[in-house]
């Protein structure tokens, strides 16, 4: 995987190369979606596996018109309602011509484009795409955990 940089919701940048050698679960998120309660499961997943090297990266997107109006509103919503402490980008496009380069790479590399909010992509420690999951895959479900634990070995 080449280097992909996202603006961080906390200021500065998130460079995916900083996590080379670790599995990274990238999730396109939205605050006003029926799947928004998955934030709780993502935090549990992060809490459970971060000491073993897992990184969870949330990528808020308004591509499906279900995100709040500003990065600040998203950050506040996630902190107040879910106590999130994993990395999060600014509001980012994940599909179509304006998609972030990571998502364009993902489409080319794995034929995967988010079809809705809370699609999950597991990047293996070597930078390859290890697994992709749709919105219905709960963060603490067996398929997601099995893919993560395999990537942590």
Backbone angles phi, psi at 28, to 5 degrees: -80, 125
Backbone angles phi, psi at 61, to 5 degrees: -145, 145
Residue 128 and residue 146 in contact, taking contact as beta carbons nearer than 8 Å: no
- DSSP one-letter string for 16-80: GGGGTTS-EEEEEE-TTSTTTTHHHHHHHHHHHHGGGT-EEEEEE--TTS-S-SSHHHHHHHHHH
- Find residue 57's DSSP bridge partners: 26
Catalytically active residues, by annotation: 33
For the beta sheet containing 129-133, the strands, ordered from the edge strand earlier in sequence to the opposite edge, are 55-60, 24-29, 120-123, 129-133
Helix axes 142-152, 38-49, angle to 10 degrees: 30
């Amino acid at each position: 995987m080449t280097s992909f940089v996202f603006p961080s919701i906390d200021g500065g940048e998130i460079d995916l190369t900083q996590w080379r050698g670790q599995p990274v679960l990238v999730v396109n998120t939205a605050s006003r979606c029926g799947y928004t309660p998955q934030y709780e499961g993502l935090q549990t997943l992060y809490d459970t596996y971060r000491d073993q090297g897992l990184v969870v990266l949330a990528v808020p997107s308004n591509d499906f018109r279900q995100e709040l109006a500003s990065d600040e509103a998203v950050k506040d919503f996630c902190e107040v309602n879910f106590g999130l402490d994993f990395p999060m980008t600014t509001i980012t496009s994940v599909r179509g011509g304006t998609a972030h380069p990571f998502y364009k790479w993902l489409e080319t590399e794995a034929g995967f484009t988010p079809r809705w909010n809370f699609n999950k992509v597991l990047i293996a420690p070597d930078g390859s795409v290890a697994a992709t999951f749709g919105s219905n895959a709960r963060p603490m479900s067996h398929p997601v955990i099995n893919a993560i634990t395999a990537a942590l070995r």
